[in-house]
Amino acid sequence: MNTESKGVAVVTGASSGIGAVYADRLARRGYDLLLAARSREAMSDLARNFSVETGRQVQTLVADLTDSKDLAELERILREDAAITLLVNNAGMASTAPLLNADVAEMSRMISLNVNATRLTYAALSLFVRRGSGTIINIGSIVGVAPELLDRVYGGTKAFVLAFSQSLRKELEGTGLTVQAFLPGATATDLWKKSGTPVKHLPQEIVMPVEDMVDAALAGIDQGEFVTIFALPDAGQWQIYEVARQALRPNLSRVEPAARYGIARVRA
């Protein structure tokens, strides 16, 4: 049993699925835990089991991160608790409904929840930067890169997570902080049932067990990856994508329209 603490890992959406497995793996790696989720009973059971099995200290916070008061309380803890060394922004919701069939109120709630990683990261950063260490793991999705694969609003929120992570990583260069954007594909969790398509209705050859997925994510961060796509056999494919994206940058903003549009301006 590992008795030396690596600090406190905060895991949102920690009562089941990806968040629960992250909590288990991080406790086994030597982190004490703060679990945040809506389900008091589920978190209490997990906290008790993790504490017994790993010897780590496990706290829980019952919080709905679409509720401003609950969100503010977790932000306060992240700002003030110097023991926190790692934040897993995992809480989120999904939808598989076509846009025209979607509930607009649920869409708004999904947008709010899935992008609240911004506020929580902001809250944690001041302590992390002053200390010169800390890890932020943002759980995105492959639909952040390929939004046409699923509900368009969900894909948009996960594209935000990726873009936010890219910008954050650039801003934090040289500070000693670690940022990882983890982009899962189809994973065997109850998120699918909640979103309207039970996982058993998916082609089973694309669905990975959640334990394997989280283990791959942590292996990715151990290897220094910024973006981890756990099913991608050739990491060079992401590098090719990134090189192509970077090649666009010098031409994204210029004083004149590209010549291909045939717009000639007379300049004084």
Helix (H) or strand (E) holding 91: none
**Span 8-236 CATH architecture:** 3-Layer(aba) Sandwich (3.40)
Burial annotation 112-134 (CB, 10 A radius, 16+ → b, else e): bbbbbbebbbebbbebbeeeeeb
**Which residues carry out catalysis?**
154
Tens-digit pLDDT string for the chain (268 aa): 556 889 999 999 998 889 999 999 999 999 999 999 988 888 999 999 999 999 999 999 999 999 999 999 999 999 999 999 999 999 877 666 666 777 788 888 888 888 888 999 999 999 999 999 999 999 998 888 888 776 678 888 999 999 999 999 999 999 999 999 999 876 655 655 555 565 565 556 557 688 988 999 999 999 999 999 988 889 899 999 999 999 999 999 998 889 899 987 766 5
Helix (H) or strand (E) holding 8: strand 8-12
pTM, full prediction:
0.89
